[in-house]
Chains A and B, each alone.
Chain A
């Protein structure tokens, strides 16, 4: 099951938050929730960088609890994609890469009306994203 998606730019601005299913509604505003998530990613990245041995590129892909899994993809341009799913979903990196290349690039980067750093509220973008995510086998798997 796919829960939700966050997209941040390199300055930590949340460009998109989209929710398909969120079993646990957190208290507080959407803004606070997005900041909390970014803070978590930021700290986790610091930890990962500290723990990674010298050889090898640092970078984490996912972390999970018994209830959910956080799938993470960061581009060289500093875009961060966070896709939360149920813990039984396999490797979602390919899916996030697809969202980056076929949705973000096509409907945001190539869209002359989109200014970098603005929230992504373009209808076509959201439509393409929603269509892709709903087509994933992981979207329906594990549904209770």
Chain B
């Protein structure tokens, strides 16, 4: 059976088996505590969502090196493949879950439109034991993940926009993150000849 699985899934499994693990409940509860503290500090739901995304971004710019060094995912040829690698290898490696990647093609989109995909997280470990109280019902609880994806991709030269579209905490069936490519950033050097 194992041989018939798509290669990315196997890469993800291998990467997952190599990384250090922490107890899932500890992880979930720690994340919950962070979010609660942020809510208390900023006293604003909107601000907390933004802050979570920023924290994620800072994680993303560091996590990418660990991913590249340990996952052996190779080089992606296009943005579609990037989506697959994030969904099947990266999420598996760091969160232990596999995620579905759906490529979105906008109807009536021009041929040179920037590509995008949605990451569909059915079994989201962050939301276990979580309920959003009435006054926080708009909180983007999993916005951290959006930030991580954005930060990581930025480090490899892809400026993307990420958005939490659906969340189980909002009553949806699954968590869904949209990732759309905005710009491919090429290397630039500062010319600082003295």
User: A residues bordering B, Cβ < 8 Å?
Assistant: 10-12, 42, 57, 75-79, 97, 100-101, 104-105, 109-110, 116
Contact = CB atoms under 8 A, between A and B. Distances in A.
Interface in B171-194: 187-190
B61 interface: yes
15 contacts: A11-B190, A75-B65, A76-B75, A76-B157, A77-B65, A77-B68, A77-B155, A78-B187, A97-B69, A101-B70, A105-B65, A109-B63, A109-B66, A116-B61, A116-B62
Interface residues of B, number: 17
B66 A110 contact: yes
B156 A77 contact: yes
Nearest to A45: B187
Majority-rule SS of B interface residues: helix
A12 B187 CA distance: 10
A78 B185 CA distance: 12
B64 interface: yes
B156 A101 contact: no
Given A105-B65, A116-B62, 19 more contacts: A10-B187, A11-B188, A12-B189, A75-B65, A75-B68, A78-B155, A78-B187, A97-B69, A100-B65, A100-B69, A101-B66, A101-B70, A104-B69, A109-B62, A109-B63, A109-B65, A109-B66, A110-B66, A116-B61
Interface string B51-73: 00000000001111110111000
B189 A105 contact: no
Nearest to B154: A77
